Amino acid sequence: MAVFTRTTKKLIVRIDEFFDDIDLGLLVFREAWKAYLEKDLTAFERHLIKVDELENKADRLQREIGNDMITHSIMPQHREDVVRLIDMIDEIIDAAKSNITELDIERPEIPPALADSFLGLAGTSANAGEELVPAARAYFRDPYIVREKLLKVYYYETEADKTAIELKKRIFREIPELDLSGKNQLRYMVNNIENISDLAQTAADMLSGMAIKMMI
Amino acid sequence: MILLFLASGLFLGWSLGANDASNVFGSAVGSKMVSFRTAALIASVAVILGAVIQGAGAADTLGKLGSVNALGGAFTLALAAAVTVFVMTKFALPVSTTQAIVGAIIGWNFFTGNQTDTGTLSKIVITWITGPVLGAVFAVLLFILIIKIKKISRIHLFRFESIIRAGLIITGAFGAYSLGANNIANVMGVFIPSFSLDTIDLRYFTLNSSQQLFLLGGLAIAVGIITYSRKVMDTIGENIVELSPEGAMVVVLSQSLVLFIFSSSGLSSLFVRAGLPPIPMVPVSSSQVIVGCVIGIGLYKGARNINFRILGEIAIGWVSTPLISGLLAFFSLFFMKNLFGINVGQKGSPADPVSIASTVQSGAAVSQIFLHLLASIILAGIVATALYFLFEWRKEREFRKSEKRFWENMK
């Protein structure tokens, strides 16, 4: 019996740590974009290292959670769902890290007129991911409130979509000093940022289904 | 020779273990909440304890239905019941050992011209109905209680699951104990009048003649659990309604409570002291009670969840089992008596000790066999448990090593 209790405690701590990392990773992602747009490359690189560390830790935790759930046969009926959800949430921080890494590699020239819009898009997209975390935490304690918590994820995802379309329009229509390759590069960046909210929405859809399963 | 006559009872015990243990641990093993090894180990120990400690009550009632006064008769009707259970299980038909043995005893009564005690029979048949109903009531009440606690406490899902897992093991052990206590009468009850063994004194406790038979029967049930119940346990979760782990725990607990109630003489005398009617000590079909419990939860969740086709099959089984077993016993007794010339019993009052023919009077030798058997079981149990924990520990250590290697390679 002690084995069960110890494993359960460890698992609860690991899941909480995992969500903390995702939360923190998205916060650092937003800060990294802010530092880049303000041309504070020292801060940007610091944030890049932090996101990398958090992503690695999240990967490790994800694997440990999956292993523990399988080896100790925890929640056998919902295990696949939980492991899949953790995997989907991990993809969010993977996308954030990949976006910041590409930003570091490519260092695109972002016209000052678009800086606020880029920051806004990064913020909204990160918000969608951040709002997913409390909903996912709620799944483990109070599945009845998961769906109402997910409303914010859907809201931010829609906002991120709108901002991304608006931003792409401005890139191609309002910035004549950028050549086509520069515009393409920025569009690619926009798509990558927007991808975070899309991943959050996909995970939210799954979480919503999982919550319903727990309620019936 | 004694063991040869007991073989049919042991076969019935084996069938009961293979079949009915799945009622106790089936949902837990089927839903992968408890491993089969753990379930088999706990169920085996608990079923033997239940049979030896508390098996007498229900056996007395079965004795009143028809006191089989010849070893050949006891052998034949235990065989008829066992064959009925085995064949119906083979064809995946729901079957109750209790009904099979009751049917066989009535078959013996018909054959030997003994009167079937209608009072006892009606007492038994009534519990076939009240058992599942009581199980359903317990299941619904306990289910509501657990769901309410879960909602109010906002307990973490993993912690809740850990409690449920522990609950499944505890209630499973209780269920196996109750199964042993209540259903050992089906396995060994018919042999009691034919056996009179020396009491074994083990210093701290004694084993009388019936208890020695119950120990043997309990062992047969345990062997049935270990060798053949896995398949049934793996598939039971898919039957009637799909159960959540908390539902599974409630079902097992409710079933154990019902079985315990109908085999606890202490509880019955408590009822009498409180001015209530006594609880009949009757062997109840664990399969039927579990069906009642599952239907109770199914109805509470909405009738849509219930698989009515399986329910229909169960209902047919309830009627056909005693009939088939009774007919089989009747014809087998006919062949045993007329073809092999074996004494299968005669007309006589069960209370009259003179009428008990061919009673086995054991010398010290049989008691010694039992004593050695008991020592071997305890020793084998200790060795099996130690090996189990050793293998588990080694598996865990290997896994941790491989994980460590994985992360070292990742660096």
B159 with A12: Cβ contact below 8 A: yes
Q: How far is CA A76 from CA A86, A92, A105, A141, B154, in A?
A: 16, 25, 43, 17, 20
B401/chain A closest Cα distance in angstroms: 13
Q: What is the pLDDT of residues B329-342, one digit of tens each?
A: 999 888 888 888 77
pLDDT reported for residue A5? 63
Other C-beta atoms lying within 10 Å of the C-beta of residue B57: 22
B257/chain A closest Cα distance in angstroms: 23
Rg (CA), chain B: 22
Q: Place B238 in a pLDDT band, splitting at 50, 70 and 90.
A: low
Q: What is the CATH number of domain A2-215?
A: 1.20.58.220
Instruction: Report the Cα–Cα distance between both ends of chain B, in Å, rounded.
Output: 70
Q: What is the pLDDT of residues A127-153, one digit of tens each?
A: 999 999 999 999 998 888 898 899 999
B154 with A141: Cβ contact below 8 A: yes
CA distance B182 to B97: 11
Q: Is A10 left (phi over 0), alpha (psi -120 to 50) or beta?
A: alpha
ipTM higher than threshold 0.90: no
pLDDT reported for residue B355? 43
Write the residue in B33, B156, B396 that is nearest to A76 by C-beta: B33
- Is pLDDT above 70 for B2? no
Point out which residues pair with B360 in neighbouring strands: B195
**Closest residue on chain B to A144 (Cα):** B151
**Closest residue on chain A to B393 (Cα):** A3
- Spell out which residues of chain A touch residue B244, defining contact as CB-CB under 8 Å: 77
pLDDT reported for residue A203? 96
Q: Which is more confident, B11 or A200?
A: A200
- Residue B402 tokens read as 């491989």
B158 with A140: Cβ contact below 8 A: yes
Question: Which residue has 């609950």 as its token pair?
Answer: B167
Other C-beta atoms lying within 10 Å of the C-beta of residue B408: 8
Question: Which residue has 């990398």 as its token pair?
Answer: A52
A8 with B161: Cβ contact below 8 A: yes
Backbone φ and ψ for B360, nearest 5 degrees, come out as -85, 115
DSSP B351: T
B361, containing H or E segment: strand B360-361
Rg (CA), chain A: 19
pLDDT reported for residue A36? 95
CA nearest to B174, candidates B58, B256, B229: B256
- Is pLDDT above 60 for B359? no
Q: Is B33 on the interface with A (CB under 8 A)?
A: yes
Beta strands in B172-211 (DSSP E): 195-196, 200-201, 206-207
B32 with A73: Cβ contact below 8 A: yes
CA distance B187 to B170: 25
- Spell out which residues of chain A touch residue B245, defining contact as CB-CB under 8 Å: 76-77
CA distance A75 to A80: 9
Q: Place B150 in a pLDDT band, splitting at 50, 70 and 90.
A: confident
- pLDDT, average across residues A9-31: 94
A168/chain B closest Cα distance in angstroms: 39
**Closest residue on chain A to B153 (Cα):** A141
Q: What is the pLDDT of residues B241-287, one digit of tens each?
A: 567 788 888 988 898 888 888 877 777 777 778 777 777 777 787 77
Q: Which residues does B239 contact at the CB level (< 8 Å), separation at least 6?
A: B294, B307, B310
What is the number of alpha carbons within 13 Å of residue A145 lying toward its C-beta? 10
- Is pLDDT above 70 for B361? no
- Is pLDDT above 80 for B409? no
CA distance B196 to B359: 7
Q: Which residues does A20 contact at the CB level (< 8 Å), separation at least 6?
A: none
Using a CB–CB cut-off of 8 Å, the residues of A that contact B are 1, 4-5, 7-8, 11-12, 15, 60, 67, 71, 73-78, 139-144, 214, 216
Q: Place B194 in a pLDDT band, splitting at 50, 70 and 90.
A: confident
Q: What is the mean pLDDT of chain A?
A: 91
Instruction: Report the Cα–Cα distance between both ends of chain A, in Å, rounded.
Output: 29
Q: Place B236 in a pLDDT band, splitting at 50, 70 and 90.
A: low
Residue spans per domain, chain B: 2-362
What is the number of alpha carbons within 13 Å of residue B7 lying toward its C-beta? 5
Interface test with A, best of B154, B162, B241, B388 (most A CBs within 10 A): B162
Question: pTM higher than 0.90, yes or no?
Answer: no
Question: Which residue has 């119906």 as its token pair?
Answer: B88
- Is pLDDT above 90 for A193? yes
**Long-range own/partner contacts, residues B264-273 (CB < 8 A, 24 or more apart):** B264/B54, B264/B57, B264/B181, B265/B56, B265/B57, B268/B57
pLDDT reported for residue B237? 52
Q: What is the pLDDT of residues A93-111, one digit of tens each?
A: 999 999 999 999 999 989 9
Task: Spell out the SS3 assignment of B62-101.
Answer: HHHHCCCCCHHHHHHHHHHHHHHHHHHHHCCCCCCHHHHH
CB contacts < 8 A, A to B, total 50
Highest mean pLDDT among A41-45, B5-9, B61-65: A41-45
pLDDT reported for residue B356? 45
CA distance B328 to A1: 47
B157 with A60: Cβ contact below 8 A: no
Q: Is B269 on the interface with A (CB under 8 A)?
A: no
pLDDT reported for residue B111? 87
Kindly report the CA angle at B272 between B269 and B278, in degrees rounded to 5?
Answer: 80
- Spell out which residues of chain A touch residue B32, defining contact as CB-CB under 8 Å: 73, 76
Q: What is the pLDDT of residues B103-132, one digit of tens each?
A: 988 888 888 888 888 888 888 888 878 888
Q: Is B338 on the interface with A (CB under 8 A)?
A: no
